[in-house]
Structure 1
Amino acid sequence: MGSVCREVVTLQLGHYANYVGTHWWNLQDASLCYDADPHNPPSEVCSDAVFREGLTQSGQTTYTPRLIALDLKGSLNTLRQEGTLYELHRQGSTWEGEVMTHKEDPAEKNVFLQDLERLDQGEAEGEFSQQQQQREQCRGAEGSVNASVERTQKLFSLEGSVRVWSDFLRIHLHPRSISVIHQYNHNGETNRMEAFGQGEALLREPLFLEELEDRLHFFVEECDYLQGFQVLCDLQDGFSGLGSGVTELLHDEYRGRGVFTWGLGPITHPDTSPVKDVFHLLNSVLGVVSLSNHSSLFCPLSLRGGLGRRPPPHITFPHLQYDPSLWYHSSAVLATALDTLTLPYRTLKDSATMGQLADAFAVSGRKVVTACGAVPFPMMLGDCLPNALAGFGEALPWKPLSACGEQIDGWCFAQSVSLRGIEGQSLVSQLAPGTQPPSPLHCYGSGEDVLTAYLQERYPSTPSVVHLVQSPCKPMTPFPQIFTPALGKHGFLESGSRPASTQVDSVPVLTCLQSSPLLYRCLSELHSEVSALDLRRFCSFLSAGTELDDLREALQDLKALAQQYRMNSNLDASSEEESD
């Protein structure tokens, strides 16, 4: 390997965070190469950054996520907490008396999990309707479940059978990865973890804290060059409080390591009510303040139109047809964006560490960033990047992913832009000698120069960092079929419609992280909406452990946080009165 691979430990806190995380890990798994063939180009992404190699008791080599995933009792469905990859030693019983056995019918697996189980056991690949797609395949991967899933190319419609995130998990997890919080229920009307204080209190329980620290030490101590932690955390329920404590623990115990926190929120909640909507609002305020305080960078990530109780319509994309009410769909879109957003600290060449990326953004204490994305990046098959970018005209090439609204001018404090999935000659113009370039973008000789020039034109005063990876994002089975027929098999726009039986198995994606003045308006509106509430009316929220004075202090901190992103422009004029 030409450069040091710096490891990252991932934590997923909450049910929606695990939805997004499951899609994200499935995308990583689809891109894995085993025992790379020297005749194929080397991988641009360092999978060792987020995966770990291990051995089962039988000596089988394993490759599993360096992951700790926390969720509530009843959230796993058919998945065993310890997984199935390692057969853990079970101590024999010493009881000699009569034993009465109560047997409970196991939860039924959906068709995808049934097929995956049979593939895992080497029983069923030949029975599937195989479409032997020509693809670049790494030598040594042929016998893996990953390769078998790709070769079968079987299409699944899981919208009616996905109840929890493990219903579409295609990879094995290490026995130390999943931690179930038994004090609270995932389903039902009682013992729900709905308030910030409930999650915050968990880390004051000695046994819970000890177990979490043991899991952290297990994954951290095997790292040679730990660069930090990426934390996916539900923002609108009690997991925001747990995330506050976890990020504080990481900040205190692993000083000098990056802590990147993604505050996740679904578009809709299945069992919401006016009171629960207020809880979501209060959790968001406390979460934004505390998570940004303890993290190197904090980024809200949601397809909602805003963070308030009555936000504008959800975000749509020109070439996606997703159901905003399905977490299985919305989390797939966010995971696709997150795959590209996290590339800067996961690439083998010219990578930036988490610490370097945080330093580039956190000027004047600005540690909150927004995300934008073009999912997928719209480009005609056979066209070039300069044409695709020029085709946007005055419009921005991406949509907001942080529930902060659309940007209306070309200004932000700093940005990191990542593009993946456009290869070789398609990155630059291929004009014949003597041809007049249609735009300055057509004059550059590398994709990095093309994208940098485009950003300088759109954001003339903004420091920008560009990252390009030629390999695409691979939304393979069981990714939902949400791409429009205008996209071909490889994710590019084509003149005809893609057959319904053909899966889109790769897409180009463009994303951007920005330290944006949009945050002034977004955070100010959140402050105004909560300030207008009579907080004393929500006794059940306060009785969960958050004092009224703590809420008021958080509101003051939120107001101060918003002021860090204030500019003298029309962008924040609409919120000026509310924040004063």
Structure 2
Amino acid sequence: MAGGAREVLTLQLGHFAGFVGAHWWNQQDAALCRPTDAKEPPGELCPDVLYRTGRTLYGQETYTPRLILMDLKGSLSSLKQEGGLYRDKQLDAAIAWQGKLTTHKEELYPKNPYLQDLLSAEGVLSSDGTWRVKSIPNGKGPPPFTNARTPKPVMPTEGSIRVWSDFLRVHLHPRSIYMIHKYNHDGEAGRLEAFGQGESILKEPKYLEELEDRLHFYVEECDYLQGFQILCDLHDGFSGLGAKAAELLQDEYSGRGIITWGLLPGPYRLGELQKTIYRLLNTAFGLVHLSAHSSLVCPLSLGGSLGLRPEPPVSFPLLQYDADLPVHCGAILATALDTVTVPYRLRSSPVSMVHLADMLNFSGKKVVTAGATIPFPLVPSQSLPDTLMQLGQATPWTPLSACGDPSGTCCFAQSVVLRGLDRARHTSQLTPGTPLPSPLHACTTGEEVLAQYLQQQQPRVRSSSHLLLTPCKAVPPYPYLFSSRLSQHGLLLDAPPARTAVESIPVLGALCSSSSLNRALGDLAKDLSKLDLRRWASFMDAGVEQDDLEETLHELRNLAQCYESGNDRLVD
């Protein structure tokens, strides 16, 4: 692997994980396709950590995500399970049977107009039925020349996006997509609703062996595998599937990092009682089992609560989004994910997944919270010390782990990333002799500014911080959620710019081991203990027993107590 990259294998489990993952991979793809005249220097982030090189049967080089993706029947829309880069040998094999054949052809989903336009721009379908790609950008050189008169591509509308595959613009390897055909994505019957159902999938030899084969395929070609990141739905049966997958990884790849991102879609409605109760049960079982088998677990959600009490979704001063649309929620969470995962994706002096987890998960604190400021509010005339001083003593990021308002809580350890700031803005621009407004203005580097700010905010807290020039990409099909006052590069202007679409943004992101988890996990345990399980026998019928529930409740309370501070006490 070029440059000795510390590779990461991503497991993406569930349909909402698909929305977050599609935006995540689109952002990685946009970073690979950076224009040659870009101002930011290339190379801060190493794409080889997440991507792998390959070659088609026609000798064409490919660069695809190191990814295993699992979802249900009906979730792919018009996307082919085997992808479009490689010929499927099984389909090409000669049919030995010489007798009469009957063909049963499943009705095809109409292709999203955006993907039709994307494919026509990226390749051609040859007469033998093989897709020949014009160019696969690999980050090792400039993108191919495109004619300026090429028609502007069709952008997906929110109404045209039914599933995550409707806006995924990244080509996948044939070993990436693994469909679970025994459950349906659509309809009321045959749904993967309960934790026990998800667990049972990987107890079946055919599913377990196929997953193991795919893991071995990707792992064996790695030179310096640092670990696995799991994007996993927490609210449905994929919670159980993710727990079994994490257990498998822990057993087979001991010593590697396993960081799990437990994903929850937007706010839920109390009127959907069974979904609400199942969401509670799946989340509780998932957090307990995932934390037992992962190096680190982080819930990610725009909702305000993990428990039964509905809370309004979080808000961002410079974003307008619809919390009921997975394509909106997925974009915001992917942007946060793209930022907080920076430490183990750096080209120079990376922090390994294991070391990042060790810094945050001491004393049994394996669950962490995430937060982000999207975008970071930087005015063109201001420096980083100016902006941080204006933020004051308030928590500088919006919470993204459904653990409530973090005000007044205690932080035990944190990893913070600020990205997308020009080097000229890193330190004070005051003329010599001008009285300094704050100690931050005396710092000589941006890294020192950020570290001192965090020290002022949370004294005696173990902190790690990174400052990057590279911004987060927000080009289509990223939805347009931004304030009209933002410039092309996400700077906050006094008046709306003329005809300028936001293409990149500065972002502040953080992972925190926080005492807010004492209350959040404690409330989750309280809600769980109040359930009359006789009303929800169908959840238990899926493979969970009463003893399992009691053990989960016990472990959840123990986990909550790990986050007690001097001012917090878990109430039974």
- Whether 2:115 is the aligned partner of 1:116: answer no
Q: 3-state DSSP class of the match of 1:156?
A: coil
Give runs of aligned pairs for residues 187-198 of structure 1, distance below 5 A. 187-198=186-197
The farther-off stretch of 549-558 and 264-273 is 264-273
- Whether 2:163 is the aligned partner of 1:161: answer no
Q: 3-state DSSP class of the match of 1:523?
A: helix
1:554 equivalent in structure 2: 552
Distance, in Å, in 2 between the alignment partners of 1:382 and 1:531 is: 54
Q: Residues 154 and 544 of structure 1: is their aligned pair in 2 closer, same or farther, counting only changes over 3 Å? A: same
Q: CA deviation at 1:270?
A: 9.4
Give runs of aligned pairs for residues 308-347 of structure 1, distance below 5 A. 308-347=307-346
2:61 equivalent in structure 1: 61
Structure 1 unmatched ranges of 5 or more: 124-136
Q: CA deviation at 1:528?
A: 0.5
Q: Does the 8 Å contact 1:119/1:148 carry over to 2?
A: no
- Whether 2:106 is the aligned partner of 1:79: answer no
Q: Deviations over 1:109-132 (max 9, x none)?
A: 222111101101279xxxxxxxxx
Q: Does the 8 Å contact 1:15/1:234 carry over to 2?
A: yes
Q: CA deviation at 1:310?
A: 2.6
Give runs of aligned pairs for residues 62-461 of structure 1, distance below 5 A. 62-89=62-89, 90-121=92-123, 140-143=141-144, 154=153, 156-268=155-267, 273-409=272-408, 411-461=410-460
Normalised by the size of structure 2, how large is the TM-score?
A: 0.93
Q: Does the 8 Å contact 1:40/1:138 carry over to 2?
A: no
Q: Does the 8 Å contact 1:142/1:148 carry over to 2?
A: no
Letter in 1 for 2:80: R
Distance, in Å, in 2 between the alignment partners of 1:267 and 1:161 is: 20
Distance, in Å, in 1 between the alignment partners of 2:195 and 2:292 is: 16
Q: CA deviation at 1:102?
A: 4.5
1:539 equivalent in structure 2: 537
- Across the aligned residues of Structure 1 and Structure 2, the Cα RMSD in angstroms comes to 2.4
Q: Does the 8 Å contact 1:35/1:139 carry over to 2?
A: no
2:504 equivalent in structure 1: 506
Letter in 1 for 2:101: V
Distance, in Å, in 1 between the alignment partners of 2:205 and 2:317 is: 50
Q: Does the 8 Å contact 2:77/2:163 carry over to 1?
A: yes
Letter in 2 for 1:434: G
Distance, in Å, in 1 between the alignment partners of 2:241 and 2:34 is: 36
Q: CA deviation at 1:95?
A: 2.9
Distance, in Å, in 2 between the alignment partners of 1:148 and 1:306 is: 49
Q: Does the 8 Å contact 2:33/2:143 carry over to 1?
A: no
Q: Deviations over 1:206-259 (max 9, x none)?
A: 111000000000000000000000000000100000011000010110001000
The farther-off stretch of 542-551 and 392-401 is 392-401
Q: CA deviation at 1:360?
A: 0.8
- Whether 2:478 is the aligned partner of 1:479: answer yes
Match for residue 516 of structure 2 among 518, 521, 529: 518
How many residue pairs get aligned? The number is: 557
- Whether 2:528 is the aligned partner of 1:530: answer yes
2:15 equivalent in structure 1: 15
Letter in 1 for 2:175: R
Letter in 2 for 1:508: P
Q: Residues 259 and 272 of structure 1: is their aligned pair in 2 closer, same or farther, counting only changes over 3 Å? A: farther
Q: Residues 506 and 171 of structure 1: is their aligned pair in 2 closer, same or farther, counting only changes over 3 Å? A: same
Q: Does the 8 Å contact 2:10/2:66 carry over to 1?
A: yes
Distance, in Å, in 2 between the alignment partners of 1:263 and 1:565 is: 19
Q: CA deviation at 1:433?
A: 1.1
Q: Does the 8 Å contact 2:267/2:313 carry over to 1?
A: no
Q: CA deviation at 1:14?
A: 0.4
The farther-off stretch of 526-535 and 98-107 is 98-107
Q: CA deviation at 1:100?
A: 3.9
Letter in 2 for 1:215: R
Letter in 2 for 1:94: A
Q: CA deviation at 1:92?
A: 1.9
Distance, in Å, in 2 between the alignment partners of 1:299 and 1:436 is: 43
The farther-off stretch of 546-555 and 97-106 is 97-106
Q: Deviations over 1:148-171 (max 9, x none)?
A: 99x977572520011111000001
Q: Does the 8 Å contact 1:267/1:325 carry over to 2?
A: yes
